[in-house]
């Protein structure tokens, strides 16, 4: 093309005729050529920059790589924190179980969210480092959720510890008859378990502990509670029952006198009546039972007041001897 003139042979006139190209067509042709050049150049540039990134791009790529490794490092640190928290959670569970007799936070609830699904789909779209960022975010989410649960669990322990003060005052912990009023040393009391029955002379389960004392000796509440029963009971004679809450109930038999009424609140050490010889009894004494969640348990474990650990051990040993009960 260009400025060179073009001729076409006309078979009808048998002459060469000059080709006239309109200006418009020339402009279009020029534009077309220009476009091809531009597109080709851009494509080549793109290939070039892919193979040889610009200094700025190279810097950015380096930074992205560094950030990716920092995110991986963060994930590692969060994992260590999770392990520490899990250890705290384990110890917390032990406190719940051993000290308060309660079930700790459910394991499934505690571990909910560990299943790998990503909670941050927006980072999946990242061309570089999305996986590392996503993992770090997911781990942090999980850790924060567990921290909230752990904190709530500690709140529970705190409130339990507060009510533990009430619990300590309520659970029977002193002897129902003062030791200096007993006619036998505490070590020779008739204990809990199978004993020879004083009336039937056969081995019978003795559900309590007998405290021999003079008729009229004061009987004291071994812990705070509410009187639930008073009156005559075949076998036990004049009898009182006190509910201490937390699963504990105490029973007093063979009383000569009852000083409390049903519904009355009593505090530890308060006089509730007097020792007697009423009901199936062979000598003046207090028959004392401690029930936990409906079952009689050995009252010896609730008589540890004013005893040295050695005296307490002696008492426990002595109470194991299968002597005759006073019932």
List of residues contacting Zn ion (CB under 5 A) = 208, 210, 287, 327
Judged by beta carbon, residue 239 or residue 242, the one nearer Zn ion is 239
Judged by beta carbon, residue 129 or residue 191, the one nearer Zn ion is 191
Judged by beta carbon, residue 92 or residue 327, the one nearer Zn ion is 327
Mapped onto helix, strand or coil, the DSSP state of residue 196 is strand
* Residue 280 Cβ vs Zn ion, minimum distance, rounded to whole Å: 9
* Residue 210 Cβ vs Zn ion, minimum distance, rounded to whole Å: 4
* Residue 87 Cβ vs Zn ion, minimum distance, rounded to whole Å: 49
Q: CA-CA distance, 316 to 301, in Å (whole number)?
A: 8
**No. of H helices and E strands in the chain?**
6, 14
Q: CA-CA distance, 66 to 22, in Å (whole number)?
A: 61
Residues 6+ apart with CB under 8 A from 157: 92, 95, 96, 100
Judged by beta carbon, residue 89 or residue 254, the one nearer Zn ion is 254
Judged by beta carbon, residue 149 or residue 326, the one nearer Zn ion is 326
> Cα 247 from chain centroid?
22
* Residue 289 Cβ vs Zn ion, minimum distance, rounded to whole Å: 8
Residues 6+ apart with CB under 8 A from 277: 215, 237, 254, 256, 283, 284, 285
* Residue 162 Cβ vs Zn ion, minimum distance, rounded to whole Å: 37
Q: CA-CA distance, 188 to 321, in Å (whole number)?
A: 9
């Amino acid at each position: 093309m260009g400025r060179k003139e073009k001729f076409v042979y006309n078979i009808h006139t048998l002459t060469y005729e000059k080709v006239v190209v309109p200006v418009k067509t020339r402009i279009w042709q020029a534009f077309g050529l220009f476009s091809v050049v531009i597109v080709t150049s851009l494509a080549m540039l793109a290939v070039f920059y892919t193979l040889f990134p610009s200094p700025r791009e190279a810097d950015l790529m380096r930074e992205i790589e560094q950030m990716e490794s920092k995110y991986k490092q963060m994930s590692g640190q969060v994992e260590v924190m999770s392990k520490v928290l899990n250890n705290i959670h384990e110890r917390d569970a032990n406190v719940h179980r051993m000290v308060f007799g309660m079930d700790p936070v459910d394991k499934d609830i505690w571990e909910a969210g560990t299943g790998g699904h990503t909670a941050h789909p927006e980072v999946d779209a990242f061309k570089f480092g999305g996986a590392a960022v996503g993992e770090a975010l997911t781990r942090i989410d999980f850790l924060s959720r567990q921290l909230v649960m752990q904190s709530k669990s500690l709140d529970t322990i705190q409130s339990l510890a507060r009510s533990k003060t009430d619990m300590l005052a309520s659970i029977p912990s002193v002897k129902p008859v003062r030791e200096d009023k007993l006619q036998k040393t505490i070590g020779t009391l008739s204990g809990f378990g199978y004993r020879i029955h004083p009336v039937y002379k056969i081995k019978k389960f003795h559900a309590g502990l007998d405290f021999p004392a003079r008729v009229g000796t004061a009987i004291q509440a071994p812990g705070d509670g509410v009187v639930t029963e008073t009156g005559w009971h075949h076998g036990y004679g004049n009898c009182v029952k006190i509910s201490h809450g937390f699963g504990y109930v105490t029973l007093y038999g063979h009383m000569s006198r009852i000083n409390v009424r049903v519904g009355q609140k009593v505090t530890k050490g308060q006089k509730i009546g007097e020792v007697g010889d009423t009901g199936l009894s062979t000598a003046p004494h207090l028959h004392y039972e401690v029930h936990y969640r409906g079952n009689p348990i050995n009252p010896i474990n609730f008589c540890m007041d004013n005893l040295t650990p050695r005296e307490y051990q002696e008492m426990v040993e002595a109470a194991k001897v299968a002597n005759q009960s006073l019932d």
